[in-house]
Amino acid sequence: MAKDIGIDLGTANVLINIAGKGIVLNEPSVVAVDTNSNKVVAVGTEAYKMVGRTPGNIRVIRPLKNGVIADFDITEAMLSYFINKLNVKGFMSKPNILICAPTGVTSIEQKAIIQAAEKSGGGRVYLDFEPKVAAVGAGLDIFKPQGNMVIDIGGGTTDIAVLSMGEVVTSRSLRWAGDKMNQAVINYIKNNKNLLIGQCTAEQIKIQIGTAFDADPEKVISVRGRDIIDGLPKQTVVSATEIQSSLEDGLMSIVAATKEVLEKTPPELSADIIDRGIMLTGGGALLTNIDKLITYYLQVPVLVADNPLEAVANGTGILLKNIQEHSKK
């Protein structure tokens, strides 16, 4: 028998959950292609190591942008590679696949995601929304008639949703998330330190000293890159306070969007959210003090999920079980 699988098809990472086994794969959503032969050279972790370090004929592609498929063929090749690697297909049957998408995707984008999963070897493909699946994975019981609020900050999108009785009541999807945070760090260091750095370096700075609120000015990191003026390698020092100011505009757009969703939420559900708080999931939830920032501006308690990076993938496992039970009835 083929095993059912849940896929968190993220802009930054792909996580795959096999029914009964849990998360078995977590790799970057990156594919390296040889432009001369159009052949895929590497996928996932191997391809990520090549970012910013390849010769002219090798292109490193991130097939998903802002949570949706930007390059259909490459996404399909990437999914096929991951699914084949797991060896989940049965002799005669194909696995059912539950795949997640941001709340803001159009019906055309939804079709593209389903089609990519079907072509990569799936049987029946189900699509569900990321914040809903993240909420389930973070341990919230979204199937009762009570309000639950989730902010899922991924690589390409930030999804904000209020859920009740298993459905999204109000939501917003922003194209400002982890990747844009990295870009903000790159721009800040370029404009204020005359230093060019790459995506991987920006990611490391964000992880090590990135702060959303109340940054410690004593926290500093030395950064290496290329001097804009003379083109030579150079090193400089950046503080947590500077990184906080580089992220400020984007983080405030998340606060504003969350406020907007709360304003559209029915009052009974709003009362539940004040009691239960807002749950933060996704890689962006790991940014230091992001919970304090949202609490400060919205006066609502904010909790970070136990394992925010895996919340969506864990949620697919729980929802797949529900699908299996319903299909047996």
Q: For residues 58 and 34, is the Cβ–Cβ distance under 8 A? A: yes
Q: Which residue type sits at 49?
A: K
Residues in the chain, how many? Answer: 329
- The reply to whether 283 sits in an annotated binding site is yes
288: DSSP letter: B
DSSP string of 149-204? EEEEE-SS-EEEEEEETTEEEEEEEES-SHHHHHHHHHHHHHHHH-EE--HHHHHH
- The reply to whether 313 sits in an annotated binding site is no
- The reply to whether 286 sits in an annotated binding site is yes
- The reply to whether 27 sits in an annotated binding site is no
- The reply to whether 104 sits in an annotated binding site is no
- Buried/exposed 154-190: b ≥16 CB within 10 Å, e otherwise: bbbbbbbbbbbeeebbbbbbbbbbbbbbbebbbebbe
**Stretch (H or E) spanning 326:** helix 311-328
Q: Which residue type sits at 29?
A: S
283: DSSP letter: G
Q: From 115, 202, 103, select the one nearest 156 (Cα to Cα).
A: 103
- The reply to whether 231 sits in an annotated binding site is no
- The reply to whether 109 sits in an annotated binding site is no
Cα separation, 176 vs 12, in Å, equals 13
- The reply to whether 203 sits in an annotated binding site is yes
Q: Give the number of other Cβ atoms within 10 Å of residue 22's Cβ.
A: 11
- The reply to whether 243 sits in an annotated binding site is no
- The reply to whether 206 sits in an annotated binding site is yes
Q: Report the first-to-last Cα separation within the chain, whole angstroms.
A: 19
- The reply to whether 204 sits in an annotated binding site is yes
**Residue written as tokens 């089609």?**
115
Rg (CA), the chain: 20
Q: From 144, 147, 163, 63, select the one nearest 103 (Cα to Cα).
A: 163
Annotated binding site for ATP: 11-13, 155-157, 203-206, 283-286
Annotated binding site: 11-13, 155-157, 203-206, 283-286
